[in-house]
């Protein structure tokens, strides 16, 4: 072969190489998503190469798969799949998507802890946003040994779940979730708040428990400090709280619109008509407004409260039994007029 032919061959090979590299770069820089909004790819612990590609076929643009397969063949991604929740954004390249999946660079879930009444309901709500299912979470929440690892028991478990929004991994484990909630709880209970709790004669868990009653008594945030003060007056005088929401919790019937004498006989430590003091734990996850209402409770001499007869959601307060009986009479008559039994 002459020198001229060798030169032509080398130039052709170089040109082919440039074209090959260019085609490869084009594949890698192809947008990973064909959509205008971000979609999410959820990879489980039992996903394999086939299932990952099936999910990619749904979440990513069809044109991105050849580039992804090329990178997989070169770097062996399929041999070490990292579970998690991955964002596929409109401007993301195939190379960026591959690197995120290979490195386990997840997109966190914005998890909002809701105001719910029971650990079972909390488990159901969490399972809507996280990988662990509701049965797994509920089983953990009902396990005394599991709860003890985080300084609580099954009754006070809800005290750790402050109603806020947190960035967490979708595939977080129940243990990792509890460790996070424990850290958030410790951060919330500053020296100032602990001192406020002590001044009210309460522990942090007792503050949360009383706040849960306040939460269920009124939706009016401006009234909550007064409600909290009324219950603290009863506690400090050794009186039973006689809080209707605790009866609903004891009965497990949150649909009750009117508490009758037959309901007050429920034999449960949560029934504050039957047992003195606070219940063993919260009757719901209280809002931050209710927690702050207990810590900054209103000082007054009220020891009775009754829903207002106008059904506004607010209450009439009384310092004497006579005043309270009059308030209760007006409310009972209003219930009767509306046919509420």
- Check whether 309 has a pLDDT greater than 50: yes
Report yes or no on 198 lying in a domain.
yes
Q: What is the arithmetic mean of pLDDT over 127-156?
A: 96
Q: Which residues on adjacent β-strands are paired with residue 305?
A: 317
Report yes or no on 322 lying in a domain.
no
Alpha-carbon distance 200 to 267, whole Å? 28
CA nearest neighbour of 153 among 108, 106, 201, 209:
209
CA nearest neighbour of 227 among 155, 307, 166, 284:
307
- Check whether 51 has a pLDDT greater than 80: yes
**Judgement on whether residues 143 and 225 belong to the same structural domain of the protein:** no
CA nearest neighbour of 42 among 122, 101, 124, 89:
101
Residue range(s) defining the domain that contains residue 128:
109-188
Would you say the C-alpha torsion 213, 218, 219, 220 has a positive or negative sign? negative
**Judgement on whether residues 223 and 281 belong to the same structural domain of the protein:** yes
Report yes or no on 13 lying in a domain.
no
- How is residue 313 written in tokens? 């959601």
**Judgement on whether residues 150 and 215 belong to the same structural domain of the protein:** no
Question: Percentage of the chain with pLDDT > 90?
Answer: 57
**Judgement on whether residues 199 and 290 belong to the same structural domain of the protein:** yes
**Judgement on whether residues 230 and 294 belong to the same structural domain of the protein:** yes
CA nearest neighbour of 114 among 98, 105, 127:
127
Q: What is the arithmetic mean of pLDDT over 197-217?
A: 97
Q: Which residues on adjacent β-strands are paired with residue 173?
A: none
Alpha-carbon distance 141 to 256, whole Å? 26
- Check whether 217 has a pLDDT greater than 60: yes
The per-residue pLDDT for range 274-293, each reduced to its tens digit, is 999 999 999 999 999 999 99
- Check whether 113 has a pLDDT greater than 90: yes
In which band, very low, low, confident or very high, does the pLDDT at 36 lie, cut at 50, 70 and 90? Answer: confident
Report yes or no on 77 lying in a domain.
yes
Tell me how many domains the chain contains. 3
**Rama region for 289: left / alpha / beta (φ>0; ψ in -120 to 50; rest):** alpha
| pTM for the structure as a whole | 0.84
**Judgement on whether residues 49 and 145 belong to the same structural domain of the protein:** no
Residue that is last in its domain, among 62, 83, 105: 105
**Judgement on whether residues 82 and 117 belong to the same structural domain of the protein:** no
Q: Which helix (H) or strand (E) holds 307?
A: strand 304-307
Report yes or no on 8 lying in a domain.
no
Q: What is the arithmetic mean of pLDDT over 155-160?
A: 97
The per-residue pLDDT for range 80-104, each reduced to its tens digit, is 899 999 998 888 888 888 889 899 9
**Judgement on whether residues 199 and 282 belong to the same structural domain of the protein:** yes
- Check whether 68 has a pLDDT greater than 70: yes
Alpha-carbon distance 281 to 28, whole Å? 55
Q: What is the arithmetic mean of pLDDT over 55-79?
A: 75
CATH of the domain at 44: 3.30.1490
Alpha-carbon distance 252 to 238, whole Å? 26
**Judgement on whether residues 91 and 151 belong to the same structural domain of the protein:** no
Residue that is last in its domain, among 153, 188, 223: 188
313, 318, 324, 330 alpha-carbon torsion, rounded to 10°: -40
Report yes or no on 328 lying in a domain.
no
Residues 6+ apart with CB under 8 A from 196: 295, 296
Give the three-state DSSP class for 245: helix
Residue that is last in its domain, among 188, 214, 236: 188
Alpha-carbon distance 130 to 171, whole Å? 6
The chain-wide mean pLDDT, for the chain, equals 87
Please check whether residue 231 is in contact with residue 200, taking contact to mean a CB–CB distance below 8 angstroms: no
**Judgement on whether residues 198 and 173 belong to the same structural domain of the protein:** no
Q: Provide the strand spans (E) within 53-193.
A: 84-88, 109-112, 165-168
**Judgement on whether residues 180 and 218 belong to the same structural domain of the protein:** no
């Amino acid at each position: 072969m002459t020198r001229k032919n060798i030169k032509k061959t080398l130039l052709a090979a170089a040109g082919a190489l440039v074209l090959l590299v260019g085609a490869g770069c084009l594949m890698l820089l192809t947008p990973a998503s064909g959509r205008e909004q971000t979609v999410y790819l959820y990879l489980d612990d039992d996903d394999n190469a086939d299932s990952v590609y099936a999910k990619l076929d749904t979440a990513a643009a069809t044109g991105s798969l050849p580039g992804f397969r090329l990178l997989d063949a070169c770097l062996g991604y399929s041999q070490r799949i990292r579970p998690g929740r991955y964002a596929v954004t409109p401007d993301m390249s195939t190379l960026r998507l591959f690197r995120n999946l290979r490195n386990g660079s997840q997109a966190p879930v914005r998890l909002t802890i809701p105001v719910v009444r029971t650990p079972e309901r909390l488990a159901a709500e969490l399972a809507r946003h996280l990988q662990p299912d509701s049965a797994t979470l509920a089983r953990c929440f009902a396990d005394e040994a599991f709860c003890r690892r985080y300084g609580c028991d099954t009754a006070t478990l809800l005290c750790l779940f402050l109603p806020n929004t947190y960035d967490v991994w979708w595939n977080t484990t129940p243990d990792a979730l509890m460790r996070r909630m424990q850290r958030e709880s410790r951060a919330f209970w500053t020296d100032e708040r602990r001192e406020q709790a002590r001044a009210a004669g309460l522990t942090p868990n007792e503050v949360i428990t009383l706040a849960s009653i306040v939460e269920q008594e009124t939706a009016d945030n401006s009234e909550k400090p007064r409600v909290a003060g009324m219950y603290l007056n009863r506690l400090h005088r050794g009186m039973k709280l006689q809080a209707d929401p605790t009866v609903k919790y004891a009965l497990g019937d949150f649909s009750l619109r009117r508490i009758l004498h037959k309901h007050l006989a429920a034999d449960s430590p949560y029934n504050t008509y039957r047992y003195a003091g606070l219940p063993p734990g919260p009757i719901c996850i209280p809002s931050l407004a209710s927690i702050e209402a207990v810590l900054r409770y209103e000082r007054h001499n009220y020891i009775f409260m009754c829903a207002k007869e106008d059904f506004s959601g607010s209450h009439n307060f009384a310092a004497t039994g006579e005043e309270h009986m009059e308030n209760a009479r007006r409310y009972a008559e209003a219930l009767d007029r509306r046919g509420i039994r």
